[in-house]
Amino acid sequence: MINALNRAAVPELGPELDPGFRPASLWNRVFAQAVQETGQPVPFAIALERDGGQVAVYEVSLFPSGQRLDWDEANWFYVERLVKCLLWVKGGWKITTAGDAEVGRKLQAAYRAGGLREFDAEFMSRVYEREFTVEVVDWAELPQAYEKTEKVGGHLDGCRIGFDAGGSDRKVAAVMDGEVLFSDETVWHPKVTEDPDYHFAGILDSVQRAAAHLPRVDAIGVSSAGIYINNRTMVASLFLKVPQELFDAKVKDIYLRVAKELGDVPIEVRNDGDVTALAGAASLQDTNILGIAMGTSEAAGYVDNQGSLTGWLNELAFVPVDYNPQAMVDEWSGDYGCGVKYFSQDGVIKLAPAAGIELDPKLTPAEKLNVVQQLLTEGHSGAEQIFQSIGRYLGYAIAHYSDFYDLKHVLILGRVTSGKGGALIKQQAEEVLKVEFPELAHVQFHLPEESDRRVGQAIAAAGLTPFS
């Protein structure tokens, strides 16, 4: 059955350089159709609990359990991939299932120590500071859905500081009643530094220099890569080299400590992807926006139909988009087919051999990306195929993401989208939706200008925080 589903999920506009690509969007579609064709669809529900008692519930249909071995195998493959997707889109420290108890027990085994998804369980435990658990219950015991959104951003009143923590530079802006009085970029090296005092001093330096241009500081807004809950740093690549003990002692509350230095100023800390989406919403004067940054990894943020943030993780780098078990494995999570290997500099490097491009192994990933981008400007046909392939990946991925997000706009940005490559990616993604998913042809792709992606992020961050 799984082999039959794989054959049925061959994309019509598959990436030329990756013939083994099996889009999650198509695989899930043919699975759902096959289940309905049995005339015996069996309901199955997955509930994910995260911070604040919030619960997301997702209901699907499976093949009847215990009737055919190949149906049982297909059920497990489908649910295992789906739960992985939900976990990294929504977040959660607890999974509860109702329906097929055997599938639920397999999930319990997968997410325990030594299991298939041990990495994911440990990661979520760090994020939510709760022991990760999987429970199998009867339908009557399934938790009820409860989710809340937050109306964040757009505050222009008073004297504000916006700070954007990037991996290679930090940006800051001083804004008074909507007018930018000062902006600045400073090179730093947070990802390779072990001492968190370096990070604290750098953040404080930028904020204090901005404060010098304001009569007072009413609020601070922060845009920073990573996962933040209640303005605390739970996981962030900026502090990659900081030992865990020092991370717990000095990094979790690093932005709160900066606010304290300025006199306990109100502060709001948000993932940089969410701030990008908020900035896009302000620019487009619309809602339902997913922002995807393709750089060192794949970062994302989302603004819903009310112009609000959902509080979801939106860690699309770990969401599987390719259901081919032979797809490239992410070294960190140990899983295959995840977005980081498709929508980042790794995605470009992965496709280079198939495009006839040999890259010097001594080069850094960023340097390898630059080589391919230079070849593209010179008209290299293989380099063109790489970015066209990434665009096709993206089209099918957006169809997959639309199972979780209500979309009208997709912002694509980051180093991978610089120059001619961004236009090729956008063009191919649009074509995939038009041909394979006409119901999503209304989704518009946007390539923000470079100027909008630099200090503009810090300016958008300045408006995050309300104050009384």
pLDDT tens, residue by residue, 362-390 = 998 889 999 999 999 999 999 999 999 99
pLDDT tens, residue by residue, 318-366 = 999 999 999 999 988 999 999 999 999 999 999 999 999 999 999 988 8
Nearest to 239 by CA among 198, 279, 270: 198
Banded model confidence at residue 450, pLDDT cuts 50, 70, 90: low
Q: Can you read off the two tokens belonging to residue 431?
A: 């074509």
- What pLDDT sits at residue 292? 93
pLDDT tens, residue by residue, 243-263 = 999 999 999 999 999 999 999
pLDDT tens, residue by residue, 65-113 = 999 999 999 999 999 999 999 999 999 999 999 999 999 999 999 999 9
Banded model confidence at residue 459, pLDDT cuts 50, 70, 90: confident
Banded model confidence at residue 166, pLDDT cuts 50, 70, 90: confident
pLDDT tens, residue by residue, 20-46 = 999 999 999 999 999 999 999 999 999
Query: With contact defined as beta carbons under 8 Å apart, do 16 and 389 qualify?
Result: yes
- What pLDDT sits at residue 272? 85
Average pLDDT, the chain: 94
Banded model confidence at residue 154, pLDDT cuts 50, 70, 90: confident
What's the rounded mean pLDDT across residues 46-75?
Answer: 96
For residues 229, 235, 238, 241, the Cα torsion angle rounded to the nearest 10 degrees is 150
What's the rounded mean pLDDT across residues 188-204?
Answer: 95
DSSP β-ladder status, 444-446 and 409-413: parallel
What domains does the chain contain, in order, with CATH numbers? 38-141 (3.40.140), 159-271 (3.30.420.40), 275-455 (3.30.420.40)
DSSP β-ladder status, 159-165 and 219-224: parallel
Is the pLDDT at 457 greater than 80, yes or no?
no
User: Comparing 319-323, 450-454, 461-465, which segment has the lowest mean pLDDT?
Assistant: 450-454
Banded model confidence at residue 276, pLDDT cuts 50, 70, 90: confident
pLDDT tens, residue by residue, 389-424 = 999 999 999 999 999 999 999 999 888 998 999 999
Banded model confidence at residue 283, pLDDT cuts 50, 70, 90: confident
- pTM for the model: 0.91
Nearest to 295 by CA among 121, 200, 166: 166
Is the pLDDT at 468 greater than 80, yes or no?
no
Nearest to 300 by CA among 336, 267, 270: 270
Q: In percent, how much of the chain has pLDDT > 90? A: 82
- What pLDDT sits at residue 466? 84
What's the rounded mean pLDDT across residues 132-146?
Answer: 97
Residue indicated by tokens 């509930």: 47
Ramachandran bin of 52, using left for φ above 0, alpha for ψ from -120 to 50, beta for the remaining angles: left
- 261-267: long-range pairs with CB below 8 Å, 24+: 261/204, 261/208, 262/207, 262/208, 262/211, 262/217, 262/220, 263/217, 265/217, 265/218, 265/219, 265/220, 266/218, 266/219, 266/220, 266/465, 266/466, 266/467, 267/219, 267/220, 267/221, 267/222, 267/231, 267/465
- What pLDDT sits at residue 168? 78
